[in-house]
Amino acid sequence: MSASIPALVYFSSKSGNTHRFIQRLGLPALRLSAEMDQLPFPQSPYVLICPTYADGEGRGAVPKQVIRFLNDPERREGILGVIGAGNRNFGATYGLAGRIIAQKCNVPLLYTFELAGTDTDIARVRAGLEKLGRHPCSTAA
Amino acid sequence: MKDMTETKIPRAINWNRLDDEKDLEVWNRLTVNFWLPEKVPLSNDIPSWATLTDHEKQLTIRVFTGLTLLDTIQNAVGAPSLMPDAITPHEEAVLTNIAFMEAVHARSYSSIFSTLCSTKEIDEAFRWSEENPHLQAKAKAILDTYAPGNDPLKRKIASVFLESFLFYSGFYLPMYWSSRAKLTNTADLIRLIIRDEAVHGYYIGYKFQRGYEKLSEAEQQEMKDYAFGLMFELYGIENQYTEELYDELGLTEDVKVFLHYNANKALQNLGFEALFPPEVSEVNPAILAALSPDSENHDFFSGSGSSYVIGKAVATEDEDWDF
Ligand SMILES: Cc1cc2nc3c(=O)[nH]c(=O)nc-3n(C[C@H](O)[C@H](O)[C@H](O)COP(=O)(O)O)c2cc1C
Ligand SMILES: [Fe+2]
Ligand SMILES: [Fe+2]
- Residues in B touching A74 (Cβ below 8 Å): none
> Would the pLDDT of A2 be above 80?
no
Q: Is B274 close to A15, i.e. CB distance below 8 A?
A: no
Average pLDDT over residues B107-123: 95
May I ask the CATH class of domain A7-134?
A: alpha beta
Q: Is B300 close to A81, i.e. CB distance below 8 A?
A: yes
Which residue among A14, A127, A132 places its CB closest to the CB of B22?
Answer: A14
For B257, left (φ over 0), alpha (ψ -120 to 50), or beta? Answer: alpha
pTM, entire model: 0.94
Enumerate the H helices of chain B as residue ranges.
21-33, 46-50, 54-73, 79-82, 89-116, 119-131, 133-146, 152-161, 168-179, 184-212, 217-246, 252-269, 285-291
Q: What is the pLDDT of residue B49?
A: 97
The catalytic site residues of B sit at 109
Rounded CA-CA distance B274/B260 in Å is: 9
What confidence tens digit (pLDDT) does each residue in A49-93 have?
A: 999 999 878 889 999 999 999 999 999 999 999 999 999 999 999
Average pLDDT over residues B163-168: 98
Q: Which of B168, B139, B171, B135 is nearest to B244 (CA)?
A: B135
**Residues near ligand 3 ion, CB 5 Å cutoff:** B 163, 197, 200
User: Residue B165: which pLDDT band, with cuts at 50, 70 and 90?
Assistant: very high
Beta bridge partners of A49: A10, A83
Q: What is the pLDDT of residue A141?
A: 40
Best probe of the B interface among A19, A25, A89, by most B CBs < 10 A, is A89
B118: Cβ contacts below 8 Å, ≥ 6 apart: none
How large is the ipTM? 0.93
For B303, left (φ over 0), alpha (ψ -120 to 50), or beta? Answer: left
Nearest-Å Rg of the Cα atoms of chain A is 14
> Would the pLDDT of B301 be above 80?
no
Q: In degrees rounded to 5, what are phi and psi of residue A11? A: -105, 140
Q: Which domains does chain B have, with CATH numbers?
A: 21-290 (1.10.620.20)
What confidence tens digit (pLDDT) does each residue in B43-75 have?
A: 999 999 999 999 999 999 999 999 999 999 999
Rounded CA-CA distance B202/B199 in Å is: 5
Q: Is A118 close to B274, i.e. CB distance below 8 A?
A: yes
User: Residue B273: which pLDDT band, with cuts at 50, 70 and 90?
Assistant: very high
Q: Which residue has the higher pLDDT, A119 or B297?
A: A119
